[in-house]
């Protein structure tokens, strides 16, 4: 739909402002130094010369893309080499940077397996999206208990989402979209009480949508749930319509069935996108849908709805796009 993450980009800068400095000493932490050089050695192409400063004449805390800690001198806290067209692999040695809080390698051409990073217990932001990463998401990644933002979207990842994903209790935003992930949506997502954005679109996920996604005590702060373009089945959990501050709900292009709740108009007054198209939904469209006064996009097309189109849809003054085709409405 053209939207990028609502939450993840704003997380940067919240944690590193005054706590990171560049080192000026010549000597440094041996483990950190060797881990970075090992990573550099796995980069086969660096067309922009991003790693040209990564040499023995310059302290590694002054290398491009590196920041080190104020309180723990010569310990790397930030590695940011995003958008540099780097070709190579992400080496497991980066898991030795145990003070790392931010790892951004997105928008490159990095391939191979995703290292487990189970020792990065201080890591808060992990952005590896838009690469060529393969294999499965390591279960050990959930040891990174401080993670706030996780973006692995637009890679070639396969396998299932770790079932213990709920142990990442500090997550605010997670994006696993545009991969080839299979299996069910883990019910343990219901433990991510601070979650504001969940993106799982364009995968091969199947099974039912967990009821617990709409039962979280703090889920009223949730802004967006993207589950479209999968193979999800069953009924739409009524609990999803209890998210009081939801902005976007995308369940389109799945195999969902059943009817819409008669009180769908009680869905968040903040909701702007309601995408339910290309499913197997049936029954009538409740007139209460006209109470969603902030809707800008409403997609109900490609289902089995019957009966009249509610006149109340005409009350949606902010509506910009309306999709109702390929149903069985009266008079169509």
pLDDT in tens, 169-216: 999 999 999 999 999 999 998 888 888 899 999 999 999 999 988 876
Give the model's pLDDT for residue 77: 97
Fold of the domain spanning 30-156: 3.80.10
pLDDT at 278 over 60: yes
* C-alpha 280, offset from chain centre: 26
Share of the chain above pLDDT 70, in %: 89
DSSP 5-60: -SSGGGGTTSSSTTTEE----S---HHHHHHHHHHHHTEEE-TT-TTTT-STTS-G
Q: Is the dihedral of CA 35, 40, 44, 45 positive or negative?
A: positive
Give the model's pLDDT for residue 332: 64
Q: How do the domains of the chain map onto residue ranges?
A: 30-156, 158-331
Same fold, 30-156 and 158-331: yes
CATH for the stretch 158-331: 3.80.10.10
Give the model's pLDDT for residue 241: 81
Quote the pTM value: 0.90
At residue 291 the predicted structure's pLDDT band, cuts being 50, 70 and 90, is very high
Assess contact for 118 and 142: CB atoms under 8 A.
Answer: no
Tokens of 127: 């952005």
């Amino acid at each position: 739909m053209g939207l990028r993450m609502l939450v993840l980009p704003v997380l940067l800068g919240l944690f590193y402002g005054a706590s990171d400095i560049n080192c000026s000493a010549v000597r440094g932490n041996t483990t950190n130094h060797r881990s970075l050089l090992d990573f550099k050695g796995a980069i086969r192409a660096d067309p922009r010369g991003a790693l040209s400063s990564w040499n023995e004449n310059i302290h590694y805390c002054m290398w491009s893309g590196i920041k080190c800690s104020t309180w723990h001198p010569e310990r790397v806290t930030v590695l940011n080499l995003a958008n540099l067209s780097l070709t190579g692999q992400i080496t497991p040695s980066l898991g030795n940077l145990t003070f790392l809080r931010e790892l951004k390698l997105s928008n490159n051409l990095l391939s191979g397996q995703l290292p487990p990073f189970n020792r990065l217990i201080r890591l808060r932001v992990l952005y590896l999206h838009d690469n060529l990463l393969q294999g499965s998401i390591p279960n050990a990644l959930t040891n990174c208990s401080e993670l706030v933002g996780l973006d692995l979207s637009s890679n070639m990842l396969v396998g299932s989402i770790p079932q213990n994903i709920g142990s990442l209790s500090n997550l605010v935003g997670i994006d696993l979209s545009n991969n080839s992930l299979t299996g069910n949506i883990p019910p343990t997502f219901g433990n991510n009480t601070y979650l504001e954005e969940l993106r799982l679109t364009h995968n091969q996920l199947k099974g039912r949508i967990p009821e617990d996604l709409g039962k979280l005590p703090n889920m009223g702060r949730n802004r967006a749930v993207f589950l479209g373009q999968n193979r999800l089945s069953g009924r739409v959990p009524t609990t999803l319509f209890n998210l009081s501050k939801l902005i976007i709900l995308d369940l389109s292009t799945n195999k969902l069935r059943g009817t819409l709740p008669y009180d769908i108009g009680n869905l968040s007054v903040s909701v702007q996108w309601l995408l339910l198209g290309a499913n197997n939904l049936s029954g009538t469209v409740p007139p209460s849908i006209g109470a969603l006064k902030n809707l800008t996009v409403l997609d109900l097309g490609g289902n089995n709805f019957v009966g009249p189109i509610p006149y109340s849809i005409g009350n949606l003054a902010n509506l910009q796009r309306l999709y109702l085709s390929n149903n069985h409405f009266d008079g169509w």
